[in-house]
């Protein structure tokens, strides 16, 4: 059996970052396994038959306010500047989302829109970004009317499709991701760094994992390589029917409950069914993403052509529809969004404590730490974990 210092389970953001750091900075030999047939986790992208780069697990738009994350990733990719813009279909109009001053003017008669804008500016100041659940607390009748309109038309039905419950029933941080904006800035994100890897995410991850001391094995479930003996707190390497005690570190980036066959109950996630469609025309819609809060079963349509520079030559375009659903671990569903309930948090804590007892094992990333991470959060989190762990090799 080829010896490795570290085994990383999962070749997504967290796995790729920690593997890259451990190999390039500490010269450790690292085995990265992934049960899927590709690296990059949910960031995986590829060119379709028309030469359009699609994101197989839904649109991934990189943005960050963390200079260290930006610098770090910049050593593995060139960037194509890209600022995400989203429109929402409200009463037959396509209006900018996050809901901003332009959106108000599109949805209300001129005089009322002016009064609402004045009231918003007087109350919160220009440039403010106000979570919808905060705006809903305003007593002023005009602001209350505006809040109610935005809540009813942009949030209630979208959130009910996405999460299966009303906006109040999910963490306020989730709806606060898309605040009401007291300006005409129609960008979805305001971070100073917003861009896409010029050759795609997959190429960026390939470059990270392309190290002399990293070996990547795809289509490899964890059970083919590792066995955990929780009772004696031992980890075994398995290969070709043989087993031996593994003394190195295991970085696990999969679902934490699956380490324990979900014996305390499965952690809840929302999943998505993606429906890709090729349209026989150059452009399908006026923005990368159009949200449909109130019509249809899907929440949004994303057209990938908008993400490409130079524009692809094909007279065709590819779009993806997102149909939210509850994650069912017995199917092919992917777990995308953790659903935070008190019971879920208790279960997670229980699993996390049991995992911590195995001192060689480190749970890392969205699924293993049961967090709603943006891509840059996942990179920052993996870099921090690396800095913590490297001390053990000093
Ligand atoms: N949301 C909404 N209407 C919208 C956009 C977002 O109600 O038009 C709510 C919804 O609950 C969603 C959350 O805001 O889950 C966060 O949206 P975001 O676009 O950040 O979600 P992601 O891109 O991570 O799926």
Q: Are 126 and 182 in contact (CB under 8 A)?
A: yes
ipTM for this model = 0.99
Give the pLDDT of residue 299.
98
Contacts of 265 (CB under 8 A, 6+ apart): 257, 343, 347
Give the pLDDT of residue 348.
98
Pocket of ligand 1 contains residue 293 by CB under 6 Å: yes
Architecture of the domain defined by 6-56+63-79+196-267+338-393: 3-Layer(aba) Sandwich (3.40)
Instruction: Give the integer Cα–Cα distance in Å for 66 and 121.
Output: 29
Pocket of ligand 1 contains residue 156 by CB under 6 Å: no
Long-range contacts of residues 337-345, Cβ cutoff 8 Å, at least 24 apart:
337/162, 337/163, 337/269, 337/270, 337/372, 338/267, 338/268, 338/269, 338/366, 338/370, 338/371, 338/372, 339/163, 339/170, 339/268, 339/269, 339/270, 340/170, 340/171, 341/268, 343/265, 344/267, 344/268, 344/370
Conformational region of residue 184, where left means phi above 0, alpha means psi within -120 to 50, and beta covers everything else: alpha
0.90 exceeded by pTM = yes
Annotated domain spans of the chain: 6-56+63-79+196-267+338-393, 98-181
Give the pLDDT of residue 47.
97
Give the pLDDT of residue 67.
98
Closest residue by Cα to atom 10, ligand 1, is: 159
Give the number of the atom of ligand 1 that is nearest the alpha carbon of residue 374: 24
Query: In Å, how far are 56, 247, 289, 304, 361 from 48, measured between CA atoms?
Result: 10, 43, 19, 11, 38
Closest residue by Cα to atom 14, ligand 1, is: 175
What residues of the chain score a pLDDT lower than 50?
Answer: none
Give the number of the atom of ligand 1 that is nearest the alpha carbon of residue 188: 19
Give the number of the atom of ligand 1 that is nearest the alpha carbon of residue 372: 24
Pocket of ligand 1 contains residue 178 by CB under 6 Å: yes
Annotate 153-220 with DSSP letters as a single string: IIIIHHHHHHHSS-GGGS-HHHHTTS-EESSS--BS---SEEEEETT-HHHHHHHHH--TTEEEE-S-
Instruction: Give the integer Cα–Cα distance in Å for 54 and 308.
Output: 10
């Amino acid at each position: 059996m080829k010896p490795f210092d570290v085994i990383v389970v999962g070749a997504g953001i967290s796995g790729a970052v920690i593997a890259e750091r451990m190999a390039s900075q500490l010269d450790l030999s690292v085995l990265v396994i992934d049960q899927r047939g590709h690296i990059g986790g949910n960031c995986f992208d590829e060119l379709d038959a028309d030469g359009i780069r699609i994101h197989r697990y839904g649109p991934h738009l990189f943005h960050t306010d963390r200079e260290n994350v930006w610098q770090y990733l910049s050593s593995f990719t060139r960037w194509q500047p890209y600022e995400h813009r989203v429109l929402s279909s409200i009463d037959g109009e396509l209006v900018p989302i996050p809901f901003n001053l332009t959106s108000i003017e599109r949805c209300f008669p001129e005089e009322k829109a002016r009064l609402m804008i004045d009231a918003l500016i007087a109350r919160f100041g220009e440039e403010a970004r106000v979570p919808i659940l905060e705006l809903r607390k305003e007593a002023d009748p005009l602001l209350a009317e505006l809040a109610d309109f935005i809540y009813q038309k942009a949030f209630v039905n979208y959130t009910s499709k996405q999460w299966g419950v009303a906006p109040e029933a999910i963490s306020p941080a989730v709806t606060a991701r898309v605040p009401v904006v007291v300006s005409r800035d129609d960008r979805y994100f305001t971070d100073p760094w917003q861009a896409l890897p010029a050759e795609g995410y997959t190429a960026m991850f390939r470059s990270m994992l392309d190290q002399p001391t990293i070996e990547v094995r795809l289509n490899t479930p964890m059970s083919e390589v590792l066995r955990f003996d929780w009772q004696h707190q031992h980890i075994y390497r398995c290969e070709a029917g043989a087993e031996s005690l593994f003394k190195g570190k295991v970085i696990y980036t999969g679902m934490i409950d699956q380490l324990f066959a979900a014996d305390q109950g499965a952690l809840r996630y929302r999943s998505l069914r993606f429906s890709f469609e090729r349209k026989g025309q150059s452009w399908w819609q006026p923005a990368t993403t159009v949200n449909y809060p109130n019509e249809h079963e899907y929440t949004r349509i994303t057209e990938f052509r908008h993400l490409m520079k130079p524009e692809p030559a094909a007279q065709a375009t590819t779009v993806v529809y997102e149909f939210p659903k509850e994650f069912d671990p017995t199917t092919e569903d992917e777990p995308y969004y953790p659903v935070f309930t008190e019971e879920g948090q208790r279960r997670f804590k229980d699993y996390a404590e049991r995992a911590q007892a195995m001192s060689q094992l480190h749970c890392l990333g969205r699924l293993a730490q049961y967090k709603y991470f943006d891509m840059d959060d996942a990179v920052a989190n993996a870099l921090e974990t690396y800095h913590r762990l490297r001390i053990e090799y000093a």
